[in-house]
Amino acid sequence: MSFSFGGIVNAISSIFSFSGSSSNSRSENHHSSSTTQTVYEPDKVRVAELENQRSEMLVEAQKDIIELNARMQAAVIEANVRGFEYSANILKSLMADMNILAQQRLQLLENGHFEIVKQIECLYLDLEREIKKDNESFQLEKLPQMFEVLSRFEVESTPYKMYSGSIDQQIQLNISFVAEKFKGLTQRQHTLIESSIDAKKLVLEQSGQLVADRMKFLEKQIENKEALHLNAPEKHKSLPSANTQQLPDNL
C-alpha cells in the first residue's frame, strides 16, 4: 500500500506555477513584479520520530498526512499571493476533505482493516489518474490556447484585461472541479466504511474531530506564514517554508 496524495497535490500546485510563469512572461516589459517561490518541506523532526515506529504502513500513512498538509499550505499561500482568493478558499476546503480521507485511512490501518484500506486506495488511484489526465489537458491544451489569444491584444488594453480575467476564472474553475471530485470520493469512502466494519462510528467520529482540530492549527500556520511574507523586504520575498511550526503529535 503505497498510495500518496503527492501526485494530486503536485497537479494542483502546477496550475498556479504555470499560470504565474505565463503571466510574468507576457507582462515583464510593462511592469515589475516580485517573484514568489513556494518552498515545500515537511516537518523533519516529526518525520524522524515516525521512522522509529514499528509499523511501516502506519509510518507511511502518518508521513503522508504531514506531506499533504505542508504542500497544501504552500498552495493556499501561493494562491493568496497571486490574488486568487476564491481558489485559496477552495484549496482550504479541499485540504480539509483530503485530511478526512487520510485520517480515516490511518485509523483503518491502526484497527487492522487492511482489506478496506486496499479497496479505498483503489478509489484514490483511480481519482489520481483522472485528475492528472484532466490537468494535463488543461495545462497543455486549454491554457496555452487561451494565452495565445491573449497575446493578440495590446497589453493593459480593455480587451486584454477582460480576457486575462477570463483565464483567471478558468484556473479557479479547474480547482473547483478537483474539489468537487474529492467531495464525491469522500462520500464513497464514508459509504464503504459504513457498510464494511463494526467500528465505523469510532473511525468516522474520531477522525472527524481530529481533522477539525488539525485544520484550526493549519489555518493559524497559514496566517502566520502569509504575515511573514507580507512583512518581508521586497527583494527577499519568497513564500515561507512549510515546516515553520511542528504539527502536534495528536493531529
What string of DSSP letters covers the chain? ----THHHHHHHHHHHHHHHHHHHHHHTTT-------------HHHHHHHHTSS-HHHHHHHHHHHHHHHHHHHHHHHHHHTT-HHHHHHHHHHHHHHHHHHHHHHHHHHTT-HHHHHHHHHHHHHHHHHHHHHHHHIIIIIHHHHHHHHTTSPTTSHHHHHHHHHHHHHHHHHHHHHHHHHHHHHHHHHHHHHHH-TTHHHHHHHHHHHHHHHHHHHHHHHHHHHHHHHHS-GGG--PPPTTSSPPPTT-
In the predicted structure, residue 92 carries a pLDDT above the cut 80: yes
Tell me, what's the pLDDT at 71?
87
Query: Nearest Cα to 92, choosing from 108, 109, 75?
Result: 75
Q: Is residue 49 part of a domain?
A: yes
In the predicted structure, residue 212 carries a pLDDT above the cut 60: yes
Q: What is the pLDDT of residues 95-137, one digit of tens each?
A: 898 898 888 888 888 877 888 888 888 888 888 888 888 888 8
Whole-number percent of the chain with pLDDT over 70: 70
pLDDT band at 232 (very low <50, low <70, confident <90, very high): low
Q: Is residue 226 part of a domain?
A: yes
Q: Is residue 250 part of a domain?
A: no
In the predicted structure, residue 177 carries a pLDDT above the cut 60: yes
Distance CA 186, CA 184 (A): 5
Q: Is residue 174 part of a domain?
A: yes
C-alpha radius of gyration, the chain, whole number? 20
Q: What is the pLDDT of residues 78-89, one digit of tens each?
A: 888 888 888 888
Residues 6+ apart with CB under 8 A from 158: none
Tell me, what's the pLDDT at 170?
87
Q: Is residue 79 part of a domain?
A: yes
In the predicted structure, residue 140 carries a pLDDT above the cut 70: yes
Tell me, what's the pLDDT at 137?
85
Higher pLDDT pick, 64 / 40:
64
Q: Is residue 212 part of a domain?
A: yes
Write out the residue range of the structural domain in which residue 129 sits. Answer: 6-236
Distance CA 187, CA 201 (A): 15
Q: Take residue 81 and report the three cell numbers written for it.
A: 499571493
Q: How many domains does the chain have?
A: 1
Q: What is this structure's pTM?
A: 0.66
Tell me, what's the pLDDT at 235?
53
Query: Nearest Cα to 44, choosing from 244, 180, 215?
Result: 244
Q: Is residue 241 part of a domain?
A: no
Tell me, what's the pLDDT at 149?
92
Average pLDDT estimate for 16-44? 47
Q: Take residue 13 and report the three cell numbers written for it.
A: 500546485
| Amino acid found at 154 | E
Q: Is residue 249 part of a domain?
A: no
In the predicted structure, residue 39 carries a pLDDT above the cut 70: no
Tell me, what's the pLDDT at 152?
92
In the predicted structure, residue 186 carries a pLDDT above the cut 70: yes
229: left (phi over 0), alpha (psi -120 to 50) or beta: alpha
**Average pLDDT value for the chain:** 76
In the predicted structure, residue 211 carries a pLDDT above the cut 70: yes
Tell me, what's the pLDDT at 200?
65
In the predicted structure, residue 144 carries a pLDDT above the cut 80: yes
In the numeric block, the cell 480576457 is attached to 163
Higher pLDDT pick, 13 / 182:
182
Tell me, what's the pLDDT at 22?
45
Tell me, what's the pLDDT at 185?
87
